[in-house]
Amino acid sequence: MTGQAPGGPQVCPSAERPAGGGLAPYAVRAADSRGRRHPEPEHEFRSAFQRDRDRVIHSTAFRRLEYKTQVFVNHEGDHYRTRLTHTIEVAQIARTIARALGLNEDLAEAVALAHDLGHTPFGHSGEEALDSLMKEHGGSFEHNSHGLRVVDVLEKRYPAFDGLNLTYEVREGFVRHRTSYDSPREAGGEFPSGEQVHLEGQVVNAADSIAYDTHDLDDGLVSGLLEEEQLRSLAVWRRAEETAGDDAGGLGAKMRRHMIVRRLIDLQATDIVRNTARVLEEAKAGSPEDVRGAETLLVGMSGSLGGEIRELEAFLHESLYRHHRVMRMANKAKRFVEKLFQEFYDHPEDLPADHVARIEGDGLAQVVCDYIAGMTDRYAQDAYRKLFQPFERM
């Protein structure tokens, strides 16, 4: 593996790493991984985290993200973010931050690409519906934990084992993924609650927040649910608008919006890199073990920008996520999921044969939950029509 960078925290100012690609001392090295659930020989020229990244990309669950909701359901338009494009945006931002901090880009990218594999159709409303339904059967549903089930059990791509057999560090990174909108339940056991997640996982937390804050805002403007004049009440929007400066002044509204959104991303990513480098130095973090033993997460924004971003997130919650058009679709989605669940629970013979075969071992409710959680928006809509519309062909 690559060598250790000398000294303490460093921000890499160039796009290219120095020869040898040295990692910072607190970065996670693939050679030091806690391993896979099922032992496998190492690859000749790909690290364990590179292989994990590739396994995620080639998985069925990853492809399904193309037709899973971010904010707007797929049929609302071709230009809105989907769960897949959001995931790619998170990975891009995470790589940038990880490289600047001397962290393991391969690990950060693998966690970023996997962090939403457990999402249901119809976004958080689908998740809320499944959680409520599973509680009626003595269980629960949370997309981080379900993502772990996807990569450990539900993907079938290797004859020797179920799942993708990802490394501990990648699995930990997304099962402990945490943002303003994600509050994971403690997995316990395998992932001790007394430890912090590695810095690469913390970077993905930050990158996810940047992506959904800026790109959901952009989609809100495109949809017409938000107006630019509303955003001028927000300090961070005014700051981005000012830094775009004269370059944005004579442009059309669409290009000007693109420039401001780019500035919003850059403001946050740059602040996170600089603030995190300072925090790491103050914490005297010299190894991944120091990171795990820290009292708090070490990756984050400065206090001043963090306050402005919280103001933006509160605005998005009230003005976009709770907009009556978004809420109407969310409520409709919950009814879709509830009716599908009940129909398959009452008539398990309607499930695919491979799911029926798992009922004895996993229980009917869990199998129905797995089936629905894996659906895309349009597959769920098609299933609903086939089950409940009398003139729809089977």
Question: pLDDT digits over 20-67, tens only?
Answer: 358 999 999 999 999 999 999 999 999 999 999 999 999 999 999 998
Q: Say yes or no to pLDDT of 19 above 50.
A: no
The band of 183, judged by pLDDT with boundaries at 50, 70 and 90, is low
Would you say 57 and 113 are in contact if contact means Cβ atoms under 8 Å apart? yes
Q: Is the pLDDT of residue 10 over 60?
A: no
Distance CA 253, CA 14 (A): 32
For the stretch 60-114, pLDDT in tens is 999 999 988 766 555 555 566 788 999 999 999 999 999 999 999 999 999 999 9
Backbone angles phi, psi at 279, to 5 degrees: -65, -45
Identify the pLDDT of residue 71: 64
Of 272-276, 357-361, 371-375, 377-381, least confident by mean pLDDT is 377-381
Lowest mean pLDDT among 130-134, 223-227, 347-351: 223-227
> How is residue 234 annotated by DSSP?
S
Average model confidence (pLDDT) for the chain? 88
Chain position carrying tokens 């924004």: 301
- Name the band, by pLDDT with cuts 50, 70 and 90, for residue 297: very high
Please give the full DSSP string across 26-41, using - where no structure is assigned: TSPPGGG---BSS--P
What confidence score (pLDDT) does residue 57 get? 98
* pLDDT class of 6 with cuts at 50, 70, 90: very low
* C-alpha distance from residue 114 to each of 1, 111, 198 (Å): 23, 5, 16
Question: In a 10 Å sphere around its CB, with 0-12 CB exposed, 13-18 middle and 19+ buried, how is residue 109 labelled?
Answer: buried
Q: Phi/psi class of residue 4: alpha, beta or left (left: φ > 0; alpha: ψ in -120 to 50)?
A: beta
Q: Kindly list the distances between the CA atom of residue 373 and the CA atoms of 140, 299, 369, in Å, as whole numbers in the listed order.
A: 12, 31, 6
Q: Which CATH number fits domain 46-326: 2.40.160.10, 3.60.110.10, 1.10.3210.10, 3.90.1150.10?
A: 1.10.3210.10
Kindly list the domain boundaries of the chain, sorted by start residue: 46-326, 328-388
Mean pLDDT of 330-340: 91
Residue 69's φ and ψ, nearest 5 degrees, are -70, 135
Band the pLDDT of 193: cuts 50, 70, 90: confident
Indicate the pTM of the whole model.
0.89
pLDDT at 111: 98
